[in-house]
Structure 1
Amino acid sequence: MTRETGLLGAGDIRRLAGELGVRPTKKLGQNFVLDAGTVQRIVRAAAVGSDDVVLEVGPGLGSLTLALLPVVGGVIAVEIDPVLAGRLPETAAEFAPAVADRLAVVRADAMAVGREDLPGPAPTALVANLPYNVAVPVVLHLLEELPSLDRVLIMVQAEVAERLAARPGSKVYGVPSVKASWYAQVRRAGSVGRAVFWPVPNVDSGLVSLVRREPPQTSASRREVFAVVDAAFAQRRKTLRAALASWAGTAARAEEILRAAGIDPSLRGEQLDVEDFAKIAENAG
């Protein structure tokens, strides 16, 4: 689509990048979306509306931002790059003047952002094209720090999408799968080809939807449960009795805890769901 519709086209993106002297960097995991249809698809998949305040991480030149602004009540864009953060309000004013006042830009590292760093009403949804190298820690950090977030729709590397949405027993089920499921119901929400990005990455991307749910009912804390998860997958080829030996103190103590939790010590971590890990942590007390 073109400027008249308020979205960036490929020519607009290259012009803006040229004006700013910006080239996407691997260090920051930047890949700018050139295709307006893709950002519209992301907004539809996010199912956000006028009652939502959307948190966007890594808005870059503003492709997704401009697709969100006409649809939602507000966008809080968190951008670590000072040049991109400084230009984004101007881009909104140029391409979407009627709704540019819905945008607030926070220059910050998303991994260090808490509620006190964000202006206005608390965000209700996270919608973002996340840098591949920090996608999982960013999502987990924001779900923990911002309980107001009840929905997440992210575009990430396809492999990351598979891991986040994996179920117990899957070959790619692991720490990201379990920790994400502590906070939310997670599912794949579509695939995105590499040709819609600049520069073109070496991998395809995927959309992941997370809808917040209550964490498992347990007397163990989140940190305690996550410590069990980390230990179980640190040596994922080993049985739980062996993998949890260091965490529990001894293999015998690990077996004792597992049996008290009603879990077979000969199983492996990839066979357990988040509720199982919560039971283990609870019975370690």
Structure 2
Amino acid sequence: MTAADPADDVRLLGPADVRALAAELGLRPTKQWGQNFVIDANTVRKIVRLAGVGPGDSVVEVGPGLGSLTLPLLATAGHVTAVEVDPALAQRLPRTVADHAPARADRLEVVPADALTVTGLPDPQPTALVANLPYNVSVPVVLSFLERFPTLERVLVMVQLEVAQRLAAQPGSKVYGAPSAKAAWFAEVTLADRVGRNVFWPAPNVDSGLVSMVRRQPPSTTATRRGVFRVVDAAFAQRRKTLRAALAGVAGGAAPAEEALRAAGIDPQLRGERLTIGEFARIAEALGL
């Protein structure tokens, strides 16, 4: 058995299981919570494999839904904390695990809460975030969890392909922006794979991507993360502006912005899309943020 394979005592959900659970709950997936449930066992196996979780990991899963990904995570991880905003789904998940993975039910803890407002999780603290994230909250969830939970070493999330490409973009790319730079503050980010639409029910109107993030130390700087992110947001608020103009509001004018940019060794005529997170940090440091 490899890390990608469920243990013998774990039975994964198939399309019929997912639809039966939804019917039992009277569930109609809602756009409000971005619910698209995975019905393909090979896809959840791939997610667990790419996440690289093992018995020593405590995984936090955001939006477990009906449990399609929860089950293979329980087959490989030491513990899974599932954060679920839908009360009916949160209440049903432990019974699903008891039915499909009875020997591993004690490894699951369900936190019925909105992931965007969670500030603490029960022990053991998470070492990995693995999730099929709702498209409408994927970036803020990933960034907030990396900020709030320093024990997180790895992230593997399935998100809208466009979002995945944006998170993993490098300076100079057309899709490089504030999410790319902020993600790079916390981690090395790569697009791990692409996922088609037919693995979901209901099928979304867009393809998905798997984003892998491995935590690293942020750039060495005396500036705070909040200060660096202020510079990043200002630089991308109006992408076509030069940094001299874009940072005028943060610096107190175009002239002080130019002075700080030159002190940081950055050409004031460049645009934000050309800068690494380390260069943004140098600017924030020069501004005293």
**TM-score, normalised to structure 1's length?**
0.97
Instruction: Name which of structure 1's ranges 77-86 and 93-102 shifts more when overlaid on structure 2.
Output: 93-102
Matches within 5 A, 1:13-162: 13-115=18-120, 118-162=121-165
CA distance, structure 1, for counterparts of residue 220 and residue 119 of structure 2: 25
Corresponding residue for 2:245?
242
Question: How is 1:181-196 mapped onto 2 (pairs within 5 angstroms)?
Answer: 181-196=184-199
Provide the rounded CA distance (Å) in 2 between the counterparts of 1:4 and 1:229.
Answer: 48
SS of residue paired to 1:152: strand
Deviation at 1:4, TM superposition (A): 8.0
> 4+ residue runs of structure 1 moved beyond 6 angstroms?
1-4
Q: Partners in 1 of 2:81 and 2:284 — Cα distance?
A: 36
Letter in 2 for 1:271: R
Q: Which amino acid aligns with 2:26?
A: G
| Aligned counterpart in structure 2 of residue 258 of structure 1, from 234, 237, 261 | 261
Paired residues of 2:9 and 2:103 also in contact (CA < 8 A): no
Question: In the aligned structure 1, how far is the partner of 2:40 from the partner of 2:259?
Answer: 55
User: How far is the alpha carbon of 1:250 from its aligned partner?
Assistant: 1.0
Count of paired positions: 283
* Aligned-pair Cα RMSD in Å: 1.4
Q: Return the offset for 1:121.
A: 1.0
Q: Distance in 1 between matches of 2:150 and 2:10?
A: 34
The DSSP-based 3-state class of the residue aligned with 2:134 is coil
Q: Which residue of 2 aligns with 1:163?
A: 166
Paired position in structure 2 for 1:207: 210
| Alpha-carbon displacement from aligned partner over 1:97-152 (angstroms, at most 9, x marks no partner) | 1111110000011111123xx22211100000000000000000000000000000
Q: Match for 1:278: what amino acid?
A: A
- Counterpart code for 1:100: A
Secondary structure of 2:65's partner?
Answer: coil
Which sits farther off after the overlay, 249-258 or 224-233?
249-258
Which among 223, 226, 245 is matched to residue 220 of structure 1? Answer: 223
Identify unmatched segments of 5+ residues in structure 2.
none
Match of 1:267 in 2: 270
Secondary structure (helix, strand or coil) at the match of 1:190 reads strand
8 Å CA contact retained: 2:9, 2:101: no
Q: Deviations over 1:247-282 (max 9, x none)?
A: 111111111110011000000000000000000000
Q: Using the alignment, how far apart are the partners of 2:216 and 2:67 within structure 1? A: 30
Deviation of 1:203 after TM superposition, in Å, equals 0.3
Output the CA distance in 2 between the equivalents of 1:224 and 1:69.
39
Amino acid at match of 1:210: M
TM-score, with normalisation over the residues of structure 2? Answer: 0.96
Structure 1 residues without counterparts, runs of 5 or longer: none
